[in-house]
């Protein structure tokens, strides 16, 4: 699934950006950088959990939806943390634009997946 692949791409890119001391000074890792990386990896975790739930009834549909919603919410948290990093450290706007594009793409994929599940399973479950 593209949503899973994009989550990994986003997390790897986030780790690379946050590991670069030109973007985030080492002394700030404990207060902002770790939170950014944790949020990106949380998206991967939640998307994978949601994807691992095989929908066979309303209960499993609802369980999958919970993780999709949590993953979607984490994309908004990530965007907010990125904005803080951008304002604090003046990260190059081209880097931020590309990075934000990855987040927006993942957010869109999660929404589409959630909508497709709703259309598919609300009629049958």
Residue 125 pLDDT level (bands cut at 50, 70, 90)? low
Distance CA 110, CA 117 (A): 10
Number of domains the chain contains: 1
What is the CA angle 96-98-102, rounded to 5?
Answer: 110
| Segment 12-49, tens digit of pLDDT | 999 999 999 999 988 887 889 999 999 999 999 999 99
Given a cut of 60, is residue 59 above it in pLDDT?
yes
Residue 124 pLDDT level (bands cut at 50, 70, 90)? low
Residue % of the chain over a pLDDT of 70: 98
CATH of the domain at 73: 1.20.1440.60
Q: What's the mean pLDDT in 62-90?
A: 96
Please report the pLDDT score of residue 27 as a whole number: 85
Distances (CA, A) of 36 to 7, 18, 27, 45: 14, 8, 15, 14
- Give pTM, 2 decimals: 0.94
């Amino acid at each position: 699934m593209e949503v899973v692949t994009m989550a990994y791409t986003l997390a790897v890119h986030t780790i690379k950006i946050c590991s670069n001391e030109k973007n985030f000074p080492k002394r700030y890792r404990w207060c902002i950088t770790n939170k950014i990386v944790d949020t990106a990896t949380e998206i991967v975790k939640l998307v994978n959990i949601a994807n691992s739930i095989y929908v066979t009834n309303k209960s499993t549909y609802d369980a999958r939806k919970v993780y999709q919603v949590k993953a979607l919410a984490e994309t908004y948290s990530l965007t907010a943390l990125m904005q803080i990093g951008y304002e604090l450290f003046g990260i190059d706007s081209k880097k931020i634009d590309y990075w934000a594009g990855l987040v927006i793409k993942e957010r869109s994929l999660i929404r589409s997946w959630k909508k497709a599940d709703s259309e598919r399973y609300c009629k049958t479950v």
